[in-house]
Amino acid sequence: MNFDRKNLSDEKLLDLYKKLIKPRLIEEKMLILIRQGKVSKWFSGIGQEAISVGITSVLDKDEYILPMHRNLGVFTTREIPLYRLFSQWQGKENGFTKGRDRSFHFGTQEYKIIGMISHLGPQLGVADGIALANKLKKNGKVTAVFTGEGATSEGDFHEALNIASVWDLPVLFVIENNGYGLSTPTNEQYRCENLADKGIGYGMESHIIDGNNILEVYTKIDELVASMRENPRPVLLEFKTFRMRGHEEASGTKYVPQELMDMWAIKDPVDNFRKYLSEAGILTPDMDEAYRAEIKKEIDEHWAKVQAEPEIEASLEEELNDVYRPYTHETFDHSEEVENIRLVDAISQGLKQSMERHENLVIMGQDIAEYGGAFKITDGFVAQFGKERVRNTPICESAVVSAGMGLSINGHKAIVEMQFADFVSTGFNPIVNYLAKVHYRWQENADVVVRMPCGGGTQAGPFHSQTNEAWFTKTPGLKVVYPAFPYDAKGLLNTAINDPNPVMYFEHKQLYRSVYQDVPKDYYTIPFGKAAMIKEGDDVTVISFGAGVHWALDTLAKHPEIKADLIDLRTLQPLDMETIYASVKKTGKVIILQEDTLFGGVASDISSMIMENCFEYLDGPVKRVGSLESAIPFVKALEDQYLPKQRFENDLLELLAY
């Protein structure tokens, strides 16, 4: 192995050596502890340390790194106290996730490290968002994100590279090509000769680096980072390396040919660098022994400290309180001046006033800039706020949602517009697995609002008409908002943007231009979890949201003899069960109307909760009304049959006659 020290001092070389042997010695300790049954699981990075150590040694301590589960060197080079790492791996309180996640599945703002999730791909888009925030701040910072050769097959990889290239984001995309995705060799994963070649397709600079040569890693990254700070841009790096242990220890390496293991053993990054330093007269045997003894002593002391740490005791209150970041609603007074506007105008007005109020708010979506969005909600926004904050995105949802998460991590607020709610399916993973879980896992907030134009009645067919709120009400950590009127739409949107938790904000397309209301011209907010009582009566409780509220109003207008409590839920998570229970106890009969298909929908859970908590007050069965159990069709006659408006009238009359 050829080492070129360039202009590095002896002190710097020794510093790199000490940083290189520290994760190796920790791993050797962990392998012993695994055999002793004291550690449950371990993902080894033996043979790959030079990449983590080299990159982390170059970056400033306030520059974000997004590592994987073989990048122990990132954590040790950032000088996280070992007892905290050990505590994390053992599920103790001094770790970073309160025992809720394992190994390196965590982040820490203190050390500017953002850990992975097991779905791998989303963190590439998160790096885009972090880098975008840096670019907006004009602070010259670079972000590094790690992935393996296996994850380069994921769609998120391609989406993230494309976005970074289009937006000239200063991201180092680090591919650790270690030969195997678990047991699958590279010749069964991709057909290009080198993964670095993929950069060509995105107009992106790329390099191939010997991942086992600490000096090549350090000097090349040092050169690139200096250039990227002057000329912000993404760079794709393929590090040729090898995984000397199994995917995780239980996997073993029987699937790897022995000659391949032997070849890479000769290229060990620690042994070869030690040999180079020794032959150059920089490292003596006594120095090496002293370095190792010092590190081993630190390891043993910190391990002992963690063993003395008590096991975490389950606290129901703490577990539930950590699902969402605490947020106290802030009410804003507004003048009496109102204007009669449509729901679409109220949403646009709320967005505009929130953009004025929050200078760190960025909106991202397809065609939202000069074109103004598919429904013209952001029309004129570019002229007022500029393309830096009103950003057209490529046609990709997953990496854009992940970028919203990255913006939040790096001090911004993000709004992601789905052109249609149906298209959120291609951004589903980062919403339900990253945004929803991040506060519970390591106390990071996801200050992201996902806007969801939804709903039928416009003959848009199976791919532009879904009302898919139940996908998200099932997911702890998300808040779900679904207004039916312009006044609510504006106030709830402002609250959603203020709230540091992820919010799915549904906007019914049929209501956009058909519903008018007097709306205050000023900025105002409406608290989540407070339903609106639209009508009051003693005969029956009608519960709905979105377009269903208007269908219920139409039906009740046809039957003035029916005196109903009509409850507009407004928010589905949190849900105002207090108002529902009070009404049911008064009327004794309840019918729940939703536009979504019936099975597994919001109405089912509300019905169950009413049965569990108000059974003795009921004078009839709880009725649920929803759309047919099919995809939503295109032709009007079929769509009218699919939607529940007509069935609602029949079921309401049947319930009252019960």
Catalytic residues: 464
Contact 233, 205 (CB under 8 A): yes
With a CB cutoff of 8 Å and minimum separation 6, the contacts of 194 are 208, 238
Burial of residue 163 (CB within 10 Å: 0-12, 13-18, 19+) is: buried
Contact 536, 570 (CB under 8 A): no
Distance, CA of 112 to CA of 103 (rounded, Å): 17
Tokens of 270: 């620690």
Q: What CA–CA distances, in Å, run from 344 to 352, 366, 382, 483, 495?
A: 12, 18, 18, 11, 17
Sheet order of strands, 540-544 included: 532-535, 564-568, 540-544, 590-597, 623-627
Q: Give how far the C-alpha of residue 582 lies from the chain's centroid of Cα atoms, to the nearest Å.
A: 37
Expressed in angstroms, the distance from the first to the final Cα of the chain is 86
- Exposure on the CB side of residue 419, measured as CA atoms within 13 A: 19
Q: What CA–CA distances, in Å, run from 564 to 569, 587, 595, 620?
A: 15, 8, 20, 15
Residue 571 backbone phi and psi in degrees, to 5 = -120, 135
With a CB cutoff of 8 Å and minimum separation 6, the contacts of 153 are 189, 190
Residue 328: count other Cβ atoms within 10 Å of its Cβ: 5
Contact 623, 593 (CB under 8 A): no
The rounded radius of gyration (Å) of the Cα atoms in the chain is 28
Helix (H, G, I), strand (E, B) or coil at 391: strand
In 410-451, where does DSSP find H-type helix? 428-429, 438-442
Residues in the chain: 658
Q: What CA–CA distances, in Å, run from 385 to 329, 353, 400?
A: 26, 11, 20
Beta strands in 245-335 (DSSP E): none
Say whether the peptide bond before residue 574 is cis (omega within 30 degrees of 0).
yes
Burial of residue 36 (CB within 10 Å: 0-12, 13-18, 19+) is: exposed
In 524-576, where does DSSP find H-type helix? 547-558
Tokens of 269: 């990054």
Contact 418, 453 (CB under 8 A): yes
Tokens of 299: 């390891």
Q: Give how far the C-alpha of residue 541 lies from the chain's centroid of Cα atoms, to the nearest Å.
A: 38
Residue 428, amino acid? F
Burial of residue 115 (CB within 10 Å: 0-12, 13-18, 19+) is: buried
Distance, CA of 144 to CA of 112 (rounded, Å): 11
Sheet order of strands, 413-417 included: 390-392, 361-365, 413-417, 448-454, 503-508, 479-481, 571-573
Q: Which residues pair with 176 in a beta bridge?
A: 148, 239
Helix (H, G, I), strand (E, B) or coil at 633: coil
Distance, CA of 611 to CA of 622 (rounded, Å): 8
